[in-house]
């Protein structure tokens, strides 16, 4: 950072989503004007409306919009901004972008280009810190990796977020995985450089938040543990680290190593030094992220520091106090836990989901993007609102929900309840996985290493919070609410005139409605009579309250309540049922389905919208179960579509470069036994 003592009056955020909104929040509080840049798919996104001024970057791909340094700088000059905040991802760790910002006479809110160069390359940064005595994992030359060195981890030299990472357990797989990792890294960061290092099956991902000014002061603000990850991307983050809390002397050593790394490059601004640690507290340098981290709110909620505000102050030449301020008494401290809410299906290979957010509500929020104002609470940093569209073009993260409390157990309990009862309609999310993690006895005991998901079973952790019995009750509530909705619609159309509710001159006949949910189909047979509810399989259940939006039932002496919403889609009627036992999404099964909508047996359909980037087989080829057939790119990740069984490729209607929608047939594989016939 070369611009010193230059007041900042207007900030352009060279990013999108929740991080843009987060930076805008701190700017507004300090009287600083804001500018957003947005791609064509983001035209109606909340972050665009949050800014004082917004500039359109025509195009959809990141390479045409958020990775175009020259058009972003031109937008800043055109809008009258005098500073640029890069957020995280995209160009946030691009030294060339930082230099171009400064050359344009703008203030770069981040470390110097030289520091980014030194620490932005995971390869070079390891050499740098190793020279200072910080322990590191040995880098391996992919061309010379042997069986004895397996498994290895391929990593992108630039960027983060799990993109460009691959675990390799066989030397024969290394060339293909290197190519795939390089392609993914180039798409996400504009740099396809990758390298290898030994892969530790279990460990703890512990990181230290750094804040430094241009006058020689460096704070180790606090540590975070981010060990629970999927596809090498964090999903649960917390401060302080349970491992550090129970390991005497570890915090001091971590802080000293992090400060030494920052001083080695004359670091200025916010940064994070990441380490991989074992259960004994031994740690190894992984990388330094020369930017603000996604998980920075847990540090803010335990220290009371506004890290974005400190970035702005330092970028303008301000001086930090020599000693970091103590947390405000009674307001912060204790523990904070953050979860990342993704539009994805963990049980289907983490397949990203797209669509329109119909409803997004979390009860009990104390803050949106803001610092704590009391000793416990909930904070939401969200990129979406009701009506937002989740597209295929960018990361599937919808929001971050953070709980802070005097104890870690209370923070976990608060966060799990808030997630379980939130009303999130329109797209499938990883919400149930997060709830199961937060309530797991191993998590509550602080046993959170990088193998958490595999150790405790993704199938179990990703199961619906509402189990089969709860789902069946929710289906009954959906059937009753549907009847109330049809009654209300009939009345509004004048069909029933002034007849009283439930009037009929013959005994009520039984109604049957079938709903498809996560546990399968639920045929609900019921009748509402003068003597109450009669429902097959629901003995001892009575109606307490019934409307299209809310159903309360007396279930064996316990009054249970569900809130419902109905949405009509092109494919079916969707009913969202939210209750204290979890949320369930149902589709109403058509009594007379259209046979033209059926697909051939053995069809592989697209699990998400995306683009076909490679095809590995041809029609007529014999394949084995799991063999890659083709690869889709969606949300900057590559997704391999494999053969479901041993057999023969009967049809392959897609080609490289083709865009596909959810449900489109990608291939048809005839099973080997059927092919013989």
CATH of the domain at 650: 2.40.50.100
Does the residue 80 lie in any domain?
Answer: yes
Check whether residue 579 and residue 621 sit in a common domain.
no
Check whether residue 220 and residue 316 sit in a common domain.
yes
Q: Return the pLDDT at 504.
A: 56
Residue 614 pLDDT exceeds 80: yes
Check whether residue 233 and residue 169 sit in a common domain.
no
Return the SS3 of 433.
helix
Does the residue 528 lie in any domain?
Answer: yes
Domain containing residue 410: CATH number? 3.30.470.20
The alpha carbon of residue 1 and the mean position of all alpha carbons in its chain are separated, in whole angstroms, by 31
Given the structure tokens 């990013």, which residue do they identify? Answer: 15
- Cβ-contact 421, 363 below 8 angstroms: yes
Q: Return the pLDDT at 2.
A: 44
Check whether residue 372 and residue 406 sit in a common domain.
yes
Residue 607 pLDDT exceeds 90: no
| Residue that terminates a domain, selected from 435, 461, 487 | 461
The neighbouring-strand residues paired with 107 are 83
| Element at 167 (helix H, strand E) | strand 166-168
Residue 158 pLDDT exceeds 80: no
Phi, psi of 145, rounded to the nearest 5 degrees: -65, 135
Average pLDDT over residues 400-413: 97
Residue 420 pLDDT exceeds 70: yes
Residue of 360, 343, 356 lying closest to 433 (CA atoms): 343
- Domain tally for the chain? 5
| Residue that terminates a domain, selected from 558, 588, 618 | 588
CA 411, CA 576: separation in Å to the nearest integer? Answer: 27
Check whether residue 97 and residue 151 sit in a common domain.
no
Check whether residue 389 and residue 418 sit in a common domain.
yes
| Residue that terminates a domain, selected from 198, 217, 235 | 198
Q: Return the pLDDT at 503.
A: 52
Check whether residue 167 and residue 217 sit in a common domain.
no
Given the structure tokens 């009258």, which residue do they identify? Answer: 80
Check whether residue 149 and residue 99 sit in a common domain.
no
Q: Return the pLDDT at 160.
A: 65
Residue 570 pLDDT exceeds 80: no
Does the residue 133 lie in any domain?
Answer: no
Average pLDDT over residues 100-127: 93
The DSSP result for 196-239, as a single string, is EEEPPSS-EEEEEEEEE-TTS-EEEEEEEEEEEEETTEEEEEEE
Is beta strand 603-605 parallel, antiparallel or unpaired with respect to 665-671? antiparallel
- Compare 399 and 501 and report the one with higher pLDDT: 399
Tokens of 499: 């007849």
CA distances (Å), origin 527, targets 85, 256, 503, 543, 556: 61, 70, 13, 11, 18
Does the residue 221 lie in any domain?
Answer: yes
Residue of 663, 608, 586 lying closest to 354 (CA atoms): 608
Does the residue 396 lie in any domain?
Answer: yes
The reply to whether omega before 440 is within 30° of 0 (cis) is: no
Check whether residue 362 and residue 437 sit in a common domain.
yes
Q: Return the pLDDT at 537.
A: 93
- Cβ-contact 314, 320 below 8 angstroms: yes
Question: Whole domain around residue 166: which residue ranges?
Answer: 138-198
pLDDT band at 44 (very low <50, low <70, confident <90, very high): very high
Does the residue 392 lie in any domain?
Answer: yes
Termini Cα distance of the chain: 71
The reply to whether omega before 39 is within 30° of 0 (cis) is: no
Check whether residue 22 and residue 96 sit in a common domain.
yes
Q: Return the pLDDT at 295.
A: 98
Check whether residue 487 and residue 396 sit in a common domain.
no
pLDDT, tens digit (0-9, with 9 covering 90-100), for 302-339: 999 999 999 999 999 999 999 998 876 566 779 999 99
| Element at 253 (helix H, strand E) | helix 250-264
Q: Return the pLDDT at 676.
A: 45
- Cβ-contact 8, 316 below 8 angstroms: yes
Q: Please, is 26 exposed, middle or buried when counting C-beta atoms within 10 Å of its C-beta (0-12, 13-18, 19+)?
A: buried
Average pLDDT over residues 443-471: 96
- The dihedral formed by the CA atoms of 49, 55, 59 and 60, expressed in degrees to the nearest 10: -30
Check whether residue 193 and residue 210 sit in a common domain.
no
Q: Which of 96-105, 139-148, 656-665 holds the top average pLDDT?
A: 96-105
Domain containing residue 168: CATH number? 3.30.1490.20
Q: Return the pLDDT at 124.
A: 83
How high is the mean pLDDT of the chain?
91
Does the residue 114 lie in any domain?
Answer: no
Does the residue 232 lie in any domain?
Answer: yes
């Amino acid at each position: 950072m070369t611009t010193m003592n230059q007041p900042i009056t207007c900030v352009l955020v060279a990013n999108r989503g929740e991080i843009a909104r987060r930076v805008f929040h701190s700017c507004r509080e300090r009287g600083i004007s804001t500018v957003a840049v947005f791609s064509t798919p983001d035209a109606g996104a909340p972050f665009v409306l949050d800014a004082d001024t917004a500039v359109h970057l025509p195009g959809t791909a990141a390479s045409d919009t958020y990775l175009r340094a020259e058009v972003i700088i031109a937008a800043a000059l055109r809008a009258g901004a005098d500073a640029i905040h890069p957020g995280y991802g995209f160009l946030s760790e691009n030294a060339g972008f930082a230099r171009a910002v400064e050359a344009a006479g703008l203030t770069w809110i981040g470390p110097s280009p030289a520091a980014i160069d030194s620490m932005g390359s995971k390869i070079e940064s390891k050499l740098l810190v190793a020279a200072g005595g910080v322990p590191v994992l040995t880098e391996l030359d992919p061309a010379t990796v042997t069986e004895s060195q397996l498994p290895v981890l391929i990593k992108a030299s630039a960027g983060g977020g799990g993109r460009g990472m691959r675990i390799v357990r066989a030397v024969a797989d290394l060339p293909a995985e290197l190519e795939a990792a390089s392609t993914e890294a180039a798409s996400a960061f504009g740099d396809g450089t990758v390298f290898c290092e030994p892969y530790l099956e279990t460990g703890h991902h512990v990181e230290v938040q750094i804040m430094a000014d241009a006058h020689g002061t460096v704070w180790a603000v606090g540590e975070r543990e981010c060990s629970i990850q999927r596809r090498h991307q964090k999903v649960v983050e917390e401060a302080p680290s349970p491992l550090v809390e129970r390991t005497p002397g570890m915090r001091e050593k971590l802080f000293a190593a992090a400060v030494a790394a920052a001083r080695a490059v004359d670091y200025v601004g916010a940064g994070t030094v990441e380490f991989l640690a074992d259960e004994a507290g031994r740690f190894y340098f992984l990388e330094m992220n020369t930017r603000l981290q996604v998980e920075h709110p847990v540090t803010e909620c335990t220290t009371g520091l506004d890290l974005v505000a400190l970035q702005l102050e330092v970028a303008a030449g301000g001086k930090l106090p020599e000693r970091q301020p103590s947390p405000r008494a009674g307001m912060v401290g204790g523990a904070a836990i953050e979860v990342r809410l993704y539009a994805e299906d963990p049980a289907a290979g983490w397949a990203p989901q797209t669509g329109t957010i119909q409803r997004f509500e979390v009860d009990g929020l104390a803050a949106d993007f803001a610092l704590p104002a009391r000793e416990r609470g909930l904070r939401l940093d969200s990129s979406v609102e009701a009506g937002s569209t989740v597209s295929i073009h960018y990361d599937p993260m919808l929001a971050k929900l953070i709980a802070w409390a005097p104890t870690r157990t209370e923070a976990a309990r608060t966060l799990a309840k808030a997630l379980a009862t939130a009303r999130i309609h329109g797209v499938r999310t990883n919400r149930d996985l997060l709830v199961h993690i937060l309530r797991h006895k191993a998590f509550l005991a602080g046993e959170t290493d990088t193998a958490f998901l595999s150790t405790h079973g993704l199938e179990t952790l990703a199961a619906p919070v509402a189990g089969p019995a709860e789902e069946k009750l929710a289906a009954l509530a959906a059937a009753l609410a549907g009847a109330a909705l049809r009654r209300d619609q009939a009345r509004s159309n004048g069909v029933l005139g002034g007849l009283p509710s439930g009037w009929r001159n013959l005994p009520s006949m039984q109604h049957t409605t079938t709903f498809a949910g996560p546990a399968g189909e639920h045929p609900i047979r019921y009748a509402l009579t003068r003597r109450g509810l009669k429902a097959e399989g629901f003995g001892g259940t009575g109606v307490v309250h019934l409307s299209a939006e809310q159903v309360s039932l007396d279930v064996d002496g316990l009054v249970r309540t569900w809130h419902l919403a109905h949405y009509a889609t092109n494919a079916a009627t969707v009913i969202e049922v939210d209750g204290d036992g979890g949320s369930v999404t149902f589709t109403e099964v058509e009594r007379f389905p259209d046979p033209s909508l059926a697909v051939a047996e053995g069809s592989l359909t697209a699990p998400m919208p995306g683009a076909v980037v490679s095809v590995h087989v041809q029609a007529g080829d014999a394949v084995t179960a799991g063999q890659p057939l083709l690869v889709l790119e969606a949300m900057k990740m590559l997704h391999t579509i494999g053969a479901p069984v041993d057999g023969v490729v009967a049809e392959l209607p897609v080609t490289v470069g083709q865009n596909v929608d959810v449900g489109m047939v990608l291939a048809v594989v005839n099973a080997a036994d059927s092919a013989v016939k």
